[in-house]
Chain A
Amino acid sequence: MSVKSKAEIRAEKLLPGNQDFTSITEDIAGVPEQKKTPIQWWLLFGFSLSLLAIFVGSLGFLIWEGTGVWGINNPVFWGWAIINFVWWVGIGHAGTLISAILHLFRQNWRNAINRFAETMTLFAVICALVFPGIHVGRIWVAYWFLPLPNQMGMWPNMRSPLIWDFFAVFTYFTVSLLFWYTGLIPDLATLRDRAKGLKKKVYGFFALGWRGGNRQWQHYELAYLVLAGISTPLVLSVHSVVSSDFATSVIPGWHTTIFPPYFVAGAIYSGFGMVMTLSIIARKVYNLGHIITVEHLDKMAQIMLLTGCMVGYAYSMEFFVAWYSGNPYESFAFVNRALGPYWWGYWAMIFCNVVVPQFFWFEKYRRHIPFLFITSILVNIGMWFERFVIVVITLHRDFMPGAWAMYNPTIFDVSIYIGTFGLFFTGFLLFLRFLPMVSIAEAKLVLPESNPHHGHDHE
């Protein structure tokens, strides 16, 4: 066959260099099988552990002393805890988008980054779940979130968005964990078959005795498809519900119907930023440039351009509606965002979320790795500021000027936020060390020879 088929051209872009089933297994499984852990890994791990220590220490002090150690005041009752919660949950969303929605759309290129992104989701949601848990103050009664029968006859208020949020994020975490683990089963079997001794037993235990028979794949594929199918509306619901924590209140600046889609777009935008940051580091450290290729980074940049434009649209629409509504409190809330004492937060958000992604119209910038690395970090800074704008700038000046105040975070706001990076990266680095960071079984599906009809696909 002299003319290359479409599938072959695509595969060459996504998996350059003559790769076959064996080489893919070797390359990906070779990373957790390394005898000697790379020095960069130890350096990063040591750094993450120190951040984790800061996290545990600050958390201990917070629980001992109470939420008064934070900078929250009247009227800014919600400070960094809620900003960080929304930020981390949002980051998680890209993982589910990549693994579920792109799977439903049969976007095979996602096979190189989905494991990575799903793991990011798991740890990001763990970091997020910390904040609602600790911001209640009396953490030892956090189980009151759950509808548990008790002698006080006390139940959570199911009509409150805060309880919806708890159910949404809890479901999201559980489903993400199940999805991630289901995807891992065939790869754990690969690691089991290549390992010896204790490692073989541990991997074997989690591989559940997978034999790769088609009678197993048949049910497996259906389960995976259904998980993708139910994760898609789930992920859209989660950030919509998070946004209704704000939108169902009567605070000017929060009480808007645009919040659910706007939050979802922002979540995907920040999540892709984080996937980009992590994959650029990992492909460099582990020399996986031929599996996580520039082609993948290019496609992620395109999604960031799309979602960046969506949040940009939402920002301008908020302003338009604030003016068009004729409501003076609503108009004031928005003028105060852009020109009030926290103007720098607003313009940092606009710069990072609206201006920066415009570079991605040009292929040159979408394929320039140092540029992508810097912008992916800027994206997440911008999205943090978005939540700062929504939480702090809205609350600090509401209806009555007599109730206005400024908000200043304390060292414990900062240390707990920085500390969650320790939690996130410790988990993520352990994953990189012990589990395949790319789905071995799914990466092979990108090769044209994985399709039994590839020799005659000119139809």
Chain B
Amino acid sequence: MNKFGVIARFDSPESLVHAAEKVRNEGFTKFDCHSPFPIHGMDDAMGLERSKLGYLIGAMGLTGALFGFGLQTWIHSIEYPMNISGKPYFAYPAYAIITFELMVLFSAFGAVFGMMFFNRIPRFHHPVFYSEKFSDVSSDAFYISIEVDDPKYDENNVIDFLRNIGGTEIEVLSDEN
């Protein structure tokens, strides 16, 4: 049985944000705040840096555009130049549409699959799922989890600390396998 860490429940988005600030100020780094919806200002409260996903999406969009333009140029100028109603072989204004569409298509794949990659999902087994009450987090509950990997982790201190900042229903979770 590997220990995962401690979870504590908070009663509103407001108290979760305040608690997150305190957890961060205490010096914890391996912690997360779980909520049914994204909370405005939480990234700052937790001290998270801006997501790097945008760079990946940008790179994917550029790849898509280059691929789209390259594909059309290659087909009509190199692979099989064919005269169709007198249109030029390298008709670059006509290539704008498909270039744009493939840029959008590749960016969308970048956004969705990149999001999954950064979030490390799909991941169907996670210690938080072993808590009965934690499942309310997808409806109306707000939780903070502090992981055992955190350098400042000391179980009794963490439990006391979470209780002091207003956490309730504190549980120590471990991986059951």
Contact = CB atoms under 8 A, between A and B. Distances in A.
Interface in A14-62: 20-22, 25, 29
Contacts, number: 211
A232 B60 CA distance: 18
Interface stretch (B27-35, B154-162, B163-171): B27-35
Contacts of A154: 80
Contacts of A449: 12-14
Contacts of B107: 226, 230
A190 B97 contact: no
A220 B46 CA distance: 16
B112 interface: yes
A25 B126 contact: no
Interface stretch (A115-123, A164-172, A276-284, A390-398): A164-172
A204 B124 contact: yes
A171 B104 contact: yes
Contacts of B109: 178
Contact of A164 (B12, B41, B98, B125): B98
Given A159-B91, A164-B97, 8 more contacts: A25-B138, A153-B79, A154-B80, A175-B108, A189-B138, A212-B34, A216-B119, A450-B39
> For B71, B84, B100, which residue has the most chain A Cβ atoms within 10 angstroms?
B100
Interface in B45-96: 46, 48, 51, 53-54, 57, 61, 71-72, 75-76, 79-80, 82, 84, 87, 91, 94-95
A220 B115 contact: yes
A159 B87 contact: yes
B19 to A, nearest CB: 11
Interface of A: 20-22, 25, 29, 147, 153-160, 163-164, 167-168, 171, 174-175, 178-179, 181-182, 186, 189-190, 192-194, 204-205, 208-223, 226-227, 230-231, 233-234, 237, 241, 440-442, 444-445, 449-455
A209 B123 contact: yes
Given A167-B98, A444-B36, A223 B75 contact: no
A230 to B, nearest CB: 5
Contacts of B124: 204-205, 208-209
Contacts of B46: 214-215
Contacts of A444: 36-37
A217 B38 CA distance: 6
A237 B102 contact: no
A181 B112 CA distance: 9
20 contacts: A158-B71, A168-B101, A186-B36, A194-B135, A208-B122, A211-B128, A212-B138, A213-B33, A214-B33, A214-B34, A214-B43, A214-B46, A215-B119, A218-B38, A230-B104, A442-B37, A449-B14, A451-B13, A451-B40, A453-B41
Nearest to A174: B105
- Specify which of A163, A444, A445, A452 lies most central, judged by the most chain B CB atoms within 10 Å of its CB: A452
A237 to B, nearest CB: 6
Contact of A171 (B72, B101, B129): B101
Contacts of B17: 452
Given A168-B101, A214-B34, A441-B37, A186 B138 contact: yes
The listed residue with most A CB atoms (<10 A of its CB), out of B32, B75, B104, is: B104
Nearest to A237: B100
A452 B57 contact: no
Interface of B: 12-14, 16-18, 20, 32-43, 46, 48, 51, 53-54, 57, 61, 71-72, 75-76, 79-80, 82, 84, 87, 91, 94-95, 97-98, 100-102, 104-105, 107-109, 111-112, 114-116, 118-119, 121-126, 128-129, 135-140, 145
Contacts of B145: 213
B158 to A, nearest CB: 17
A215 B32 contact: yes
A223 B36 contact: no
A155 B51 CA distance: 41
A223 B53 contact: yes
Contacts of A220: 38, 115, 119
Contact of A215 (B48, B80, B114): B48
A451 B14 CA distance: 7
A409 to B, nearest CB: 31
A182 B139 contact: no
B104 to A, nearest CB: 5
Contacts of B118: 219
B167 to A, nearest CB: 16
Contact of B115 (A147, A182, A212, A455): A182
A454 B94 CA distance: 51
Contacts of B97: 164, 167-168, 237, 241
A317 B151 CA distance: 70
Nearest to B72: A158
A450 B42 contact: no
Contacts of A205: 124
Contacts of B14: 449, 452-455
A25 B139 contact: yes
Contact of B79 (A155, A186, A217): A155
B101 A237 contact: yes
Contacts of A227: 108, 111-112
Given A193-B135, A222-B54, A223-B115, A445 B37 contact: yes
Contacts of A208: 116, 121-124
A194 B139 contact: yes
A441 B122 contact: no
B33 A175 contact: no
B101 A167 contact: yes
Contact of B13 (A158, A221, A450): A450
B112 A217 contact: no
